[in-house]
Amino acid sequence: MTARGDAGRRTVDAPGRNAFVYRPTASPQEAANWTPRQVAMTNFRTVLGRAYPRVSGLFREKSWVFFEILLPFLATSAFVFVYRALEAPPQYIGFVVLGGAMTAFWLNVIWMMAQQLWWEKSQGNLELYFAAPMHIMAVLFGMAFGGFVMSSTRAAAVLVVATAVYGVSFSVDQWALLIGVFLLTLAALYGLGMMLASLFLMWGREAWHLTQLLVEPVYFVSGLNFPIARLGVLGSVAISILPLAVGLDAMRQLAFAGSAYPAGTPAPAIEAGILVAMVVVFIVLSRWTLAILERRARSEGRLSVRWQ
């Protein structure tokens, strides 16, 4: 039998190896020098391990069906009725519905990515993360992957329900670009979430309040319920720094292809390029800020401060 599979199986033909000993070594110092494969596999398992509770939580804590679908649906409905009261053209109802679905991702990014490490600190888990033999970026990737699965189900539910209830009709000419923009938007959003998570390492109660601050103001500058071109310069700035703004604008242009759409924003292909740049920048920045702020948080003793 070859030495493939888990550590327990390797003990059959590799004496000295078991679940706790990866390879027999002559000294503790040598054991501490992990092989690249050992590091990669540990980080991979970390990603899966951190994503697991978010995915399995979908099936265990059923109350999310009520709160995570009904709540965005109600908020979306309020804005739909505002447009109905104003006798707006039908595509505006579609803009609101699409924006309402995308809020699931934004809320997930700020509450369950950006703020997550602060929650972990409050619950006493953060020091365990840092003491464990894994890279903290793997934890962030795991959180992002689990959050992506979690939010996708919620966003899809809101989109389907609201589309059916309010009779939204989409008109898509470029499916591939639409799907590409959607995936790039999510990658950029979760990259931003990873960056914010490392920033929030330093904060105590500020984290909670600043997360609250990132809801309505971001909805406004992202043009969640209206075409962002109407915001002029502010909209242009938002498109250059906020994945929600640029992604939503591109998706609206692609999902309502035949409808009149206010001019003033780049074409979807250009916005897809902006999203690619955002993905790279946010992930690199998150790696960099995490390294700096982790060191600073350690030196200032903030990693284990609870109930601050």
Partner 1 sequence: MTAVDPALRPDAPGLASPAWGGFDPARTRGRGWIDIRHSFVTAVRLGWKMEANWTDPLLFFIYSVAKPLASALILVVMLDVISGGAKPEYRAFVVVGSALWSFVLSGMSGLAWMILDDRERYRMLKYLYVSPSDFLAVMFGRGVARIGVGAMGASITLAVGVVFLRVPFEIGRIDWPLLLAVMTLGLTSILAIGLLLAAICMQTRQESWSYPEAAAGALFLISGVVFPLSVLPLPVQSLGLLTPLTWWVEGIRHALFPGGVTAIGGPGSLYTRLSGAPSPTSGEIVVVLLATGAVATLAAVAVFRSSDRRAKDRGLLDQTTGS
Contact with partner 1 (CB under 8 A): which of 29, 63, 176, 260? 63
By CB under 8 A, tell whether 209 contacts partner 1.
yes
Distance CA 299, CA 279 (A): 30
By CB under 8 A, tell whether 106 contacts partner 1.
no
Contact with partner 1 (CB under 8 A): which of 43, 47, 54, 77? 77
Contact with partner 1 (CB under 8 A): which of 64, 130, 170, 261? 64
Distance CA 101, CA 162 (A): 9
2 token code pair:
């070859």
The b/e string for 67-105 (b: 16+ C-beta within 10 A; e otherwise) is ebbeebbebbbebbeebeeeeeeebbbbbbbbbbbbbbb
By CB under 8 A, tell whether 128 contacts partner 1.
no
Contact with partner 1 (CB under 8 A): which of 127, 217, 237, 295? 217
CB atoms within 10 A of CB 53: 13
Q: Which DSSP symbol is given to 171?
A: B
By CB under 8 A, tell whether 61 contacts partner 1.
yes
232 class by beta-carbon count within 10 Å (0-12 exposed, 13-18 middle, 19+ buried): exposed
Contact with partner 1 (CB under 8 A): which of 1, 26, 32, 85? 85
Whose tokens are 């059916």? That residue is 164
Distance CA 35, CA 28 (A): 14
Q: Which is nearer to partner 1, 147 or 191 (CB)?
A: 147
Q: Which is nearer to partner 1, 30 or 216 (CB)?
A: 216
Q: What are phi and psi of 171, to 5 degrees?
A: -135, 100
Shortest Cβ distance from residue 291 to partner 1 (Å)? 26
Contact with partner 1 (CB under 8 A): which of 81, 280, 292, 298? 81
| Residue 233, amino acid | V
Contact with partner 1 (CB under 8 A): which of 219, 250, 254, 265? 219
CB 98 within 8 A of CB 248: yes
Give the range of 6-14, 37-45, 168-176, 214-222 binding partner 1 by CB under 8 A: 214-222
Contact with partner 1 (CB under 8 A): which of 17, 50, 51, 79? 79
- Give residues in contact with partner 1 (CB under 8 A): 61, 63-64, 66-67, 70-71, 74-75, 77-79, 81-88, 92, 122-123, 204-206, 209-210, 212-213, 215-217, 219-220, 224-227, 230-231, 262, 307
